Structure 1
């Protein structure tokens, strides 16, 4: 009998992460869902019956190794899906080190540390690391300096990892969605002082489709970079 694929997902609680988790869960794949605390883990376990949870706070990447040492990690991992993220907009003149650090920790350092900790399992399965980046990972606009810097860094992490792990059979994909209808997007509009109309932006399900396409691609190819823009 074929072994079920196992995916570790960050950000499964909402937006793109929830859409991806729903799709993988519906087709019977095994899920390991990262939660920031025990309460959140309980919510995710109830939302996805049969899924395992792993508790670790992406806002404190230095503590992830310690947190995981007290829990059981999967023996093999077919994909590591970095989908969680935070955003706080402000002009450079108003950005404090605390605001910079929080976005860099969650959006860049935590994915780097998670990848480091799980690479042995990914190499064993010749697995796939997917970084859900952002259009801000390719260009930065006014008030987006800290977030865009974290996402530019995430692109560098993905590009370097792809070169390093190619010989081990580990595939690496960066997905750069434009504005996607999600709680994060609602928050961005609030920060921008704009009215939020979800129908104007990409449905998270559409981004999930692109991620599953990358995951399901036959072994003779890999999607390195995928930019997804609103179609209207």
Structure 2
């Protein structure tokens, strides 16, 4: 298994890295894991691009120092601050119609293991009106209420499947601040108080330590055969 660390020099270069990882897995049939800290941005989902307030939402993100981009996987807008951790496990597939739930369950379990190793007590699920609402999420009870730490999405091609996600490390206030007006423009219910973080859940606040823990959990039993590739 190949493990990719680091990021490209720009948002565009960084996205190109992710595309190349998928193409390589599809070509050589060897699974890969990528864990990194994306450049600050708000990444909008395909559903966002179809609503009336999309252009205004993009403007609001840009005004706050978060360049707007569109992502290929499903879900609603997510924000990255530079400390936020993104992760993806790419596996070759022979039948794109099977394995969806298995891949989601495995990635969620691995993420929970990583969070436990960081000292954060998390579990599957999410509070109402949280960012990027969806079935496959991770939450923690902190500060007297349930807060979302991570969301996962999946993209399946004929030759490869990508389970990807975003994990808030310590930047919950910044993410809540930018997503509040963005979601209002998109007319999507959002409660800024539901944004959690590893730090808010009592875990380690060093983003690099979080990258290490998530990468190790996603690689799992293949760690002995993993080769690390540095990006950027």
**Which structure dedicates a bigger proportion of its chain to helix?**
1
Whichever structure has more strand as a proportion of its residues is 2
TM-score strictly above 0.5: no
**Taking CA–CA contacts closer than 8 Å with sequence separation of 6 or more, which of the two structures ends up with the larger relative contact order?**
2
For this structure pair, what is the TM-score category when the shorter chain's length is used for normalisation?
0.3 to 0.5
**TM-score, normalisation: structure 1:** 0.32
